Every structure is written in C-alpha cells, then in structure tokens.
Amino acid sequence: MTGTMTAVQPKPTQAIEGAILFLRRWLAHPLRMGSIVPSSKALCSRLVKHGWPEDGTAVLELGAGTGVITRAFLDAGLAPERLVVVEVDGDMVPYLRATLPGVTVIEGDAKRLQELLPERFRGRIGSVICGIPLVLLPLADQKLFTGAMETVAPGRGFLQFSYCITSPLSGSKLGLNPKKKAWTPFNFPPASVWRYMPID
C-alpha cells in the first residue's frame, strides 16, 4: 500500500454532484442503496487495509455507488487497471466512469458476475469488497450474491461493511466463516468491516 500512483480527485463540483446523486438514488431505491450517504474516509481506509490485493491480482468491488471506496484504493496507490467495479444503478455509472478514469466500471446486477466480468479479469481477482447491503435481502438472494463472488474469486472470500453490531450475514446458513476485522465510529452510521471466508 505504498504505491506512487496519484488518484484523480473529483473536482469540487463533481464531489457535490456525487453527494447529491447518492441522496437522490437513495430516495429512489432506499433498500438497494442501504445508506443515505457514501462511506466515510475512515471506513474506506479500513476496507483498503483489509482488502489490499496480492501482487498481480485485482480488486473487485460490488455496489460502487459514487466510488468512494474505489477512490480510496487509488489514493493508496493501486493502479486503476487493477480495479473492476460493478454498479446496478444506471444513474451512478456515468458518474463513476467520469470520475474514475482507467477503472473498469461494469453496469449490471452483481448476481450475474460470472457473465459480466471481462475476460481479462478472470482468474485474477485477489480481493472482493461487497458494498451491496446483503443484510436487507432474503437468504435466497444472499446465496446468489455469495455464490457469484465465489465463482469469480474461488476461495478468496469477501469483505462486507455493515452497520450491524453482530455479523450481518449468517455464516452457518451461507457456508461462510465470519470474522470482524475493524470498526469505526467515524462513519454515518458507525460501521464494521467483516471478512467472510468459505468453509471448506
């Protein structure tokens, strides 16, 4: 995490645009968004720390929103070519593409990861960050997302941030081993970072 890359920061007008966009999309789809504001810098830095990929591999982020986590990886020195993000909201995607040059931005439902992931990333995903609020979904849907992540990044598990005090996902029902990696009060609401690893 000591790279020399400097991320392209959004212009002040783009940053304001991003905050307004997030709120607007939350009003349209509160459950799909799961949060009224983007993740804080404090939460993003914890995700970067625990989600840093091994050399030669890439980070896959699901539910990029306005790209605050992606930008934190770039700020920490990850090359944009090593980042691939999936976002279902068609209003967010142009914003992501405009403010994250070089990052691969895929528009679509992350349940369809296997077909959406470009060929050049296959077998190269070293770290998965799930920003989709899986806790709000029925178990059957949670299984579709966790299965999709396991298919494109076998054995890697994934990081999930959550505002819950206990594990937001049932490890026993999903065949995953949950471990709390971090917590920060400096987020709205205060948030934890969980790592879920597949149980062999």
Ligand X SMILES: C[S@@+](CC[C@H](N)C(=O)[O-])C[C@H]1O[C@@H](n2cnc3c(N)ncnc32)[C@H](O)[C@@H]1O
Residues 102-141 contacting ligand X, CB under 6 A:
109-111, 131-133
**Binding-site member from 72, 78, 86, 125 for ligand X (CB under 6 A):** 86
Angle at 14 between CA 13 and CA 18, to 5 degrees: 120
- Choose among 78, 59, 51, 62: nearest CA to 181: 51
Shortest approach of ligand X to residue 176 CB, angstroms? 19
Shortest approach of ligand X to residue 141 CB, angstroms? 9
Task: Sketch the per residue contact string, 41 through 80, with ligand X: x for CB under 6 A, - otherwise.
Answer: ---------------------xxxx--xx-----------
- Choose among 91, 75, 78: nearest CA to 18: 91
- Choose among 69, 85, 53: nearest CA to 191: 69
> Could you write out the DSSP letters of every residue in 97-141?
HHHSTTSEEEES-GGGHHHHS-GGGTT-EEEEEE-S-GGGS-HHH
Shortest approach of ligand X to residue 146 CB, angstroms? 13
**Binding-site member from 7, 88, 100, 103 for ligand X (CB under 6 A):** 88
Q: What residues line the site for ligand X (CB under 6 A)?
A: 32-35, 38-39, 62-65, 68-69, 86-89, 92, 109-111, 131-133
